[in-house]
Amino acid sequence: MSKKIMLITGGSRGIGAEIAKLAANHNYHVVINYTHSKDAANILVSDIQSQGGSAVAIQADCSKESEIERLFKEIDQIGTMDCLIANAGIIGGQNPISQTTEKQLKELFDINVIGLIICVREAVKRMSTELGGQGGKIVLMSSVAARTGGIAQEIHYASSKAAVDGFCLGLAKEVGNVGIRVNAVRPGLIGTSIHDLHGGMEVIQKWAAGVPMGRVGLPEEVAQTVLWLCSEASSYVHGALIDVSGGR
């Protein structure tokens, strides 16, 4: 396959879907990973193909090592991966620390941290020039919550994203000389369905008053940053934590 392959975990909706559409416009063959949202993933693939792009949807639960390994083996049958966008993640519910449970934390960290690291492991095994690969780019989806502590009743989510930031910095040091560039993007208040938990767009529009730019961000604004990080225009950007947060 002549097109570069980009895997987007949790790519069927929200920011992931916008990354997929923009990547297809930039001549990537996009692999849209999903866990439960089969219909949304297939609709997205159809939309991309109708615009002349190239995409496929592959189901895999990125909180489970065996399914992550299967996902990457299926991609091996397609071609050589150039970009991994580790986007899959959950908020993990809303509650104060006094009501936080072990089960809740395990579910949260299994996908936001452990699954993300396993995805990176599989990508590095294929990309590393030291291991016979051709290099590649990895973009980790963090959050501005990693440095602000997040919003009320979601500090568990903020802590999982802080772990992603630390992992990004360490990973950059480890793989920088084997042909792999790694960076993290930290979205702020972005208008996606993830905020249905908070009351939807009506509520987050009110929160926009606390953003220096005075508005909610768009998923495509995050996607543009991700695509820049995967391009040669950012060839010396490595180990960066890039906020897309309107100054928040």
User: Residue 187's closest CA among 18, 30, 7?
Assistant: 18
Indicate the burial class of 123 (C-beta count within 10 angstroms; 0-12, 13-18, 19 or more): buried
**C-alpha dihedral over 11, 202, 158, 221, to 10 degrees?**
50
Name the residues annotated as catalytic: 157
In DSSP notation, 89-109 reads --------GGG--HHHHHHHH
How many Cα atoms occupy the beta-carbon half-sphere of 108 within 13 Å?
Answer: 21
Bridging pattern class, strands 28-34 and 54-59: parallel
> 66 by DSSP, 3-state: which?
helix
Residue 179 token pair: 């042909």
How many Cα atoms occupy the beta-carbon half-sphere of 51 within 13 Å?
Answer: 15
Q: Which residues contact 129 (CB under 8 A, 6 or more apart)?
A: 135, 178, 179
